[in-house]
Structures are given as C-alpha cells and as structure tokens.
Amino acid sequence: MQINTLSTTAYTDQKPGTSGLRKKVTVFQQNNYLENFVQSIFNSLDGFQGQSLVLGGDGRYFNREAIQIIIKIAAANGFSELIIGQGGLLSTPAASHIIRKYKAFGGIILSASHNPGGPDDDFGIKYNVNNGGPAPEKFTDALFENTNSITEYKIAEISDLDLDNIGQQQIDDLIVTIIDPVADYAELMASIFDFELLKNSISAGFITLCFDAMHAITGPYATRILEDILGAPKGTVINGIPLEDFGGGHPDPNMAHAKELTDLMFAEDCPTFGAASDGDGDRNMIMGANVFVTPSDSLAIMAANAHLIPAYAKGISGVARSMPTSQAVDRVATKMGLPCFETPTGWKYFGNLLDTGEITLCGEESFGSGSDHVREKDGLWAVLFWLNLIAKRRQPVEQIVQEHWQTFGRDIYCRHDYEAVDLEIANGIVEHLRNQLPGLAGQSFGDYTVKYADEFSYTDPIDNSVSNNQGIRIGFEDGSRIIYRLSGTGTVGATLRIYLEKFEADTNKHDQDAQHALSFLINLAEQFCEVKKRTGRTEPTVIT
C-alpha cells in the first residue's frame, strides 16, 4: 500500500480529559483535527509495529467517517491487525474485553459517553492500553505534548473498508477483522452470572423488567442478552436501535433524561426492575418499583452481596470508589474487613488496583460501577448483577435497599450540576473556594463543625504517581461532606458539580427525601461557593 506523509499544523486545544478528547463534531471536522490527534496517539507509543489495535465506538454522528480515517492512519503507522466491531460499533466495556481477550496492543474508542450526539453536538476519542483500561495520566500528558508539536502525519492511500460484514479483509500486510460486537461480551457475562437462574426467574414471572437503551450502543447488547438469551419478552428493551443522534435525546441514564423509563417505574403495575445505560454503555441507572437506587448505594449493596454472584462467590479482595462518591461502600468494607480505596474521579485510577488484585469491585457516583472482569465501568454488567441479586435473594429492589440501610445506615446523598458555566466564572468559583480553605477547619455552621477543608490529592499506592487538584473537600465532624469539582466531560464551558452527603443511622429517618434532609448543607454549599450569585442562576441544571 502507498503511505503518504502529509504536512499539518498543530492545534493547541487537544488536551485529553478524564476520558479522552471531547469536542463538538464541527471541531473534529476541521482540517486534520482528527488526523493530528490520532497521529499524536501513535507518536506517544513505542513498540506497536506489527501489533493489533481494537477499534470501535458508540455509533454517534461522525463515528463511521472517523473509523475510516483511523484505519488508514493505523495502517500507515505499522499496525498489522485491526479488530473492529461490525458497523464500527463497540460498547466501551466490550472494547475493553476485546483488548484483553485478544491480547491487543491497545484500542481506540470513539465516544463522548453520555453527551448528546448529532451534527451540532459532541464527539470523542480516547486510547485504551493493553490491560483494556484508559491510558494513564503519564501517557495523556505525553499525548498532549505531541499534539502541540506535530508537523506531519502518515496515512495509507486505500479505499474505505466494508465495516458491515463480519470476517477478515487483507490489504497487503494488514489484516482487518470485523467482529460481532456482542458475542464475546455476552459470553463473558454468562461466565460471571447465573444465567439459568435468571432464565427461570424471568420465565416464572418473578422478575419483570424494562431496559432503556436510550437509542445508544447497549441496544444490541441488551436485546441479545436480556431478550434472546435470558428470554425476557420482546419489547423489554426500549429505544434499542442505536441512532447517530440518540433519537434527539440525551443518553445520560438518570431520571431527568431517561424520563420514559422513570415514568414507567413510578406508575401503577410497573415492572419489578428497571434500568438504563448511556451512550457508550459504561454507565447504569438502577430502579425498582417506585424506587431509584443511587449509584453510591448500588455500589455498596453490590459489595455487601457479591458472595451471591457466581464469579465472586469466594469473596472479593477489596473495593474502591471515586472521592466524590458517598461513603456507603466504606461502611460495608469496614464491617466485612475489606480494604477500601478512595481515588480521583476517572476510571483509569482503578486500573492499577484491579491489575494487582487489590480490589474486585469499584464505582463512581456518576452512574458507573464495575469489577475486575474488564478495565472500564460496565452498565450491563451492573444490570445483570442486580438481576442475579434479586433472583437469588427473592426480594424486590426496595426491600434489598431498606435492609441494607438497616444493617449499615444510610448515606443520604445528592449531586447538583451547573452545566455550561462560563469557564472564567467557573475558575473564579474554584479560586474563591481555595482561598477559604485555610480558615475553615474548626468553624461551626449550625450543627455542623468543619473537621477538614482541602483540595484532594491522590498518591497511587501501586506506582506512587501523584494526581493533584482533584476536587475541593469540606468535611464535617459528623462525617457529612460538601465537595466541589469541575467536570471534564462537557464540551461547552465548564460543569460545576456539588456533592452533598450526610450519614443517618436512625432507621426511622431512612425514608427522608434527600433534598429535604440535605437542605442545610445545600444552602451552606452556596454560601461557600456563590455559584448562584456569580452565574445568576436560581437552580442546578440537573439534580441526581
């Protein structure tokens, strides 16, 4: 094949966030914008010539065009095999599994996760390393440096490939393998969970369910596993056809955006179980009849009940959570005598802990949970975990949650998101908070006395790498917390996230509405950060 080396000009805005580079589609469509970033990925790697690369995405707008470009650049740079999901589709957890199963050198995943899709909306790209997990900060820092100095890229002069037919294609020394995007992942799930128990529970009518794929990547996965393999009735999976614009919806699995599912689960004669996943399939929302399970509680409940799942029947080695996630799983770990790690937000921080066997389960409050089966969070895995748990305990979701709170207490928790905040204002809020930190410890506000006020820094216990500036924490003597963080997942301005948490041991107070129970902390959080005052807004964009 003919390899062309073309001159290019660097872009200065290609700094990867916690999950790669996310921008508007129109930004990626700029001359050589995608080409620069992909070449910079390869410029940051060593020893990949003659190796295999996994490639796929969530099917959003620009997915197919981007894959054809990446194929040509990967071929020009010396990869010997490309493993690509049929139609250019791979969920993020499935891509992680494919990298691990076929011992690929790494993978490129095309997704902007739970962000909207379409010609005027978002696109994203990230590189995953050979353990199947997101590239570590050391790599993404080097990648950013390369994006700022790039002057040329290599591209093969070949025709666009057929992505829709399963099988192998060969172009000179390059083998391109188009795979069924679901088959390997479904096989993995069957090795973790008791599929026979689930089939029997569904056929007997003990479990009725609805899964909202939100017109995103998990539609084919959920349909194959829940309907075809486990025997759930046709129509159990709603919004199951992946669309380039997610049907005009926002593929974020929360009660605000998965409104069709939420309305169903709070109606009369609702199913016993409801769930949703996001754009690329790594997030999950868990619901029961007239009940929503917070992601923090979900992680804690999974940890407490992991022994009921076949793959974890012999016990789990430890747990980890992102810093803003509630301390519910910490209480489970303490009672069970398990190690518990607190990491920054971003799944890559769990990688070393999983690789060395320090933990088995991990999760984030942002609707993400997972285990050592892959190196990404995994939405359908969490759904199957809960279904297996319900079938094994023979209890509905609400009873499982209530009994968990009776045993461990309840961490009342919520998150307030202020989206698309002007970046200068958002940075001003953070600086305003930083300036207050030295004088807050020891101060009292109503019944709350500040125990510590700091900016979270994490030292990886495995490789001793340090990650600073990972969120501002204000912790109180009773264990309550207010946390502030600027999210890196949006593409317009900045998203300020405020996390609020208090512990309630009294079982008579477990049924409190979270917003009411946290009202004092909510007002105190505004007093500290002044987000409403500085932005002119009267309420958060989203409350979860």
- What is d(CA 257, CA 274) in angstroms, rounded to the nearest whole number? 14
Query: Where does residue 247 fall: left (phi above 0), alpha (psi -120 to 50 degrees), or beta otherwise?
Result: left
Secondary-structure breakdown of the chain: helix, strand, coil percentages, each rounded to the nearest 5: 35, 25, 40
Which is catalytic among the residues 113, 201, 277, 369?
113
Four-residue CA torsion sign, 225, 227, 231, 236: positive
- What is d(CA 500, CA 507) in angstroms, rounded to the nearest whole number? 20
Q: How many residues does the chain have?
A: 544
- What is d(CA 347, CA 361) in angstroms, rounded to the nearest whole number? 12
**What DSSP designation does 441 have?**
T
Which segments of 229-354 are extended strands (E)? 237-238, 273-277, 284-288, 291-293, 319-322, 340-343
Which two three-digit tokens encode residue 515?
């917003």
8 Å CB contact between 94 and 184: yes
40 is catalytic: no
- What is d(CA 499, CA 520) in angstroms, rounded to the nearest whole number? 13
- What is d(CA 525, CA 475) in angstroms, rounded to the nearest whole number? 12
Which two three-digit tokens encode residue 289?
């009849």
Four-residue CA torsion sign, 82, 83, 88, 91: negative
- What is d(CA 23, CA 17) in angstroms, rounded to the nearest whole number? 11
- Which residues touch 434 (CB under 8 Å, ≥6 apart)? 455, 472
Return the HEC string of 105-124: CEEEEECCCCCCCCCCCEEE
Four-residue CA torsion sign, 130, 11, 67, 217: positive
Please provide residue 452's backbone torsions phi and psi, each rounded to the nearest 5 degrees: -150, 155
Neighbours of 352 (CB within 10 A): 19
Active-site residues, by number, are: 113
